[in-house]
Amino acid sequence: NPNFSHLSLSVGRHLHRDQVQRIVKAATPTLVHLELVLQNESFDLAPIFTSPLVNLRHLTCISELSYIDVNNHIIPDYLANALKSMVELRTLEIGTRGYKDFAFIEQLPNLKALSITLPDRSHSTLLAHFHSLAFDLVSRLTQDRFDSITINAESNGFMPRPISNLAALSAACTRLGIDYSYNVL
């Protein structure tokens, strides 16, 4: 039974996911910092998050929403469901896969720093999803809710990321005194 407080794990195949699930489950009582590096956007990560990570303070889980999910109107919500048990979470770094909206932040009273990574995508349906997520986040922001919000947009190196208009998010953060940053990776 490992007593890990910090874990950084790579998930590249379904076999890796099963191993990661066993490690995370065994470390659940002591785990406060978890980073998952996902090497394939088609994974269902729900099995990794079956154990309630009630002591977790930092989570990095960057996985991209795929064209197939959006075209089939199936946006997996495994991460949003899992986050509800992470009541001690203070910092969260996520990608676009795993949540449909930001309703889960209502369940995370200690969350102060949110970082979102948007993949290099120009598909109009994915962009519409980004627009929707940004609008939903703005609608949930309140005074003293977050200390910082960071948007990381991946670029293919040849042209700037065709990012959705985040002016409303930037303006809301400024108005509420939230440190807002936008980075092109």
pLDDT one-digit tens code per residue, 140-151 = 998 888 999 998
CA separation for the pair 33, 1 (Å, rounded) = 17
**pLDDT tens sequence across 68-121:** 655 666 666 777 778 888 889 999 998 777 677 888 888 899 999 999 887 655
Per-residue confidence (pLDDT) for residue 155, from 0 to 100: 64
Q: Which helix (H) or strand (E) holds 68?
A: helix 67-71
**3-state SS assignment for residue 131:** helix
Q: What three-state secondary structure class fits 121?
A: coil
pLDDT digits (tens, 9 = 90+) for 54-73: 899 999 987 766 656 556 66
- With contact defined as beta carbons under 8 Å apart, do 152 and 117 qualify? yes
Give the pair of three-digit tokens for residue 111: 């969350």
Work out the mean pLDDT of the chain and round it to a whole number. Answer: 80
**Pairing assessment for the beta strands 33-38 and 113-118 based on DSSP bridges:** unpaired
